[in-house]
Amino acid sequence: MDIIYIIWFAPLFLFLFALFYFIVVRKNEFEKRLDIFYPYRQLPQKREAYMQKVSKYNHIMFALFLLPFFILVYVLFKENYQEISKANTSFSNENLMILLATLLPLFVCYYIIFYIQKRSKKAKHMLLEQMSDTDFELLLKLRDNLSFPYKYDPPFVLCNNHLYIFLFHTIKEIDPTQIISVKWYSNRHRLIVRIRDPKVTVLSISKSALPIFLQIVEQYTKLNLLTDQKNK
């Protein structure tokens, strides 16, 4: 039975290990700078208010993520406890193996989500310290064009002539002057945007945020993206 459990759960653990490596362990140059960043000065009032909203948003989203986690743990323990009570026996190795194989992936997922939120919040604070007033006004404009789940979790931020793309597994720093093409296509309620600079970056943004993104790219390149958008 132990071998069967190992064969059954091995692909899941390998997937979680790979996910943990690419999100938590592997870091690009921007994320290495982010690691050693420490918020050493007070933000201006409007920017501090923005960060407070970011913290509130993170708490809400994290709570929504934890709720099904606790429900699942409760159900698992309740079912196993009832089975053990009826059989009048102690916890078997099989029951313990099932619980561990279920709870460990959930704990890893919990930690990854926590890490992503913490990294994103720290990056926003660092960028808010460094960005110009014009960049901040653009960030507020982007916020106003995003729906609730994304208002304080923007897919991109412009700061000091650099684009920062917030992806699930990483935060990419892009020099917009190096962008040579931008293509996009609809995917239900959102858009998939493909950037080449010359490396390829793919991100998902809302339809309302696309014009702001294209406007930024046009400022730094000779691409006529807004015209292309109107023709589509």
Is the same domain home to 170 and 202? yes
The amino acid sitting at 149 is: P
143-179 pLDDT, tens per residue?
A: 999 988 889 999 999 999 999 999 999 999 999 999 9
Is the same domain home to 158 and 101? no
User: What is the Cα–Cα distance from 230 to 68, expressed in whole angstroms?
Assistant: 42
Give 60-108 as a DSSP string: HHHHHHHHHHHHHHHHHHHHHHHHHHHHT----HHHHHHHHHHHHHHHH
Using the 3D structure, point to which of 115, 130, 145 is the last residue of a domain. 130
Is the same domain home to 126 and 85? yes
Q: What is the mean pLDDT of residues 134-146?
A: 96
Q: What is the mean pLDDT of residues 1-25?
A: 79
Q: Which residue has the tokens 């959930």?
A: 106
Using the 3D structure, point to which of 130, 151, 180 is the last residue of a domain. 130
Using the 3D structure, point to which of 130, 148, 163 is the last residue of a domain. 130
Total count of domains within the chain = 2
Could you tell me the residue range of the domain that residue 86 belongs to? 1-36+43-130
This prediction has a pTM of 0.84
